[in-house]
Each structure stands twice: as C-alpha cells, then as structure tokens.
Amino acid sequence: MDNRADILRDEYRVRFEANEAYRIAVWKVLCNRFFARYIKPEHTVLDLGAGWGEFSINILAAKKYAMDLNPDCGRHVGGSAKFLHQDCSERWPLEDGVLDVVFTSNFLEHLPDKGRIDKTLAEAHRCLKKGGLMICVGPNIRYLPGLYWDYWDHHVPMTDGSMAEALQLRQFSIETRIDRFLPYTMSGGRNPPLIAVRAYLKLPLVWPVFGRQFLVIGKK
C-alpha cells in the first residue's frame, strides 16, 4: 500500500499542482451550480477517489467523508471532510445505510481492473441509504479513443453504457445517463474563464459538442 500511495502522491503533484487554485474554483462552480441539486445541506456524503478534495471542499453537506489512497488527500481536505485513507475495494469503515450520496469523478478508470470496480460499487451500495444516490462522472472512451490512454494510470476503458450496466449489476436503478456531460480535462493547461464554466452548465444543448465525460447516476 505504501508504494502505491507514494506513486499516487507523485502523479497528483505532477498533474495538478500548477492548476490547484483553478481546479478548486471550477469545482466551486460545479458544486454550487449543478451538483447541489442532488446533495442537500443535511446529507451525509462520501467523495470516492477524492484526490485533493476539490469536491469535498466545495460541496455543502452536513457530514463529509473523503476516501483516497493518496495520503496528500488528508492534508487537502483537513477541516472539510473526514479522510478515509484506504483501498476503496476493501470494506469501508462505515455502517450499512449511513450515506445519502456517494460521489466519484474521474476515478474508477484508475482502478486496476473491473473486479476492483465491482467491489467498490458493492461497498457503495451497502453504505448508501435506501433511495441514496451514486453519482459517477468519468471520461467516456467512446469520444476519447486515443486521448484516454495518455494517462499512464488509466486501466479500465469505460462508457456511459458500461458504467450504467456496472451499477445495475449491483442493484442500482439508473436515474440519469448522459453520455456527453463535461469537457475532458483540467490538467492540460487550458483554463477557460469561470464565467464560461457557468454558462456551459446552463446550456445543455452545447454539451454534445464539447462534452467528453459521462454523467451516470444510480439510485439504491
């Protein structure tokens, strides 16, 4: 575990350190202008594969957990969420049915194989309340056949269809399935102004033009 954690720490620093302030600002917009419709101030939320905690820092919820194998995550989310430093495919240190929402963005494709993804989804289902939501955002390989593999630690190619099916096999019903949601990445140096991010979220008609990531929401 320590070696994997060290590798993750180095990968995140190389990719995201220069853009950290911008990423936090973008996630503030995403949380306030979009994801807040699913997550209420009284909810208990788990940020799965929290990275540097951009979602955890910005989402308004009564109780927040941030799970990641990268030890830097704890430093970044300190004061915003309780850090769970572990392999997400192992049993989570939570009781059954205590979460309102599990949120994950650009994470599941980094797991070593589909078996690990399936175990992770099983834990999410166990820990969610009846009616709780699993919100999944990720790169859609259908629209990124080459760019998808530019990240060394992308292991599992996924689409909105495969994500939805994986959730259904774990007894989630699909509430939302959007194949083209957000543009692909914020780690490549292109930082559109925040006013453009706000405008984009208000204009779903342009998502099929620029969107390269899916949004799939499953309900327990």
pLDDT of residue 5: 57
The answer to whether 121 and 89 have CB atoms below 8 angstroms apart is: no
Report if pTM > 0.85: yes
pLDDT of residue 192: 86
Query: Where residue 137 sits, what CATH number does that domain have?
Result: 3.40.50.150
The total number of structural domains that make up the chain: 1
DSSP H or E stretch at residue 195: helix 194-202
For residue 55, how many other CB atoms are within 10 A of its CB?
30
Q: In the predicted model, is pLDDT for residue 68 greater than 90?
A: yes
Residue 97, domain extent: 2-219
**Least-confidence region, from 23-27, 77-81, 183-187:** 183-187
d(CA 57, CA 64): 9
Residue where the block lists tokens 């997400």? 88
Q: In the predicted model, is pLDDT for residue 36 greater than 80?
A: yes
Please, what is the Cα angle at 33 between 32 and 37, to 5 degrees? 80
Say how many Å lie between the first and final Cα of the chain, rounded: 31
The model's confidence at residue 116, banded by pLDDT at 50, 70 and 90, is very high
Among 208, 87, 116, 110, smallest CA distance to 158 is for 110
**Least-confidence region, from 83-97, 136-150, 183-197:** 183-197
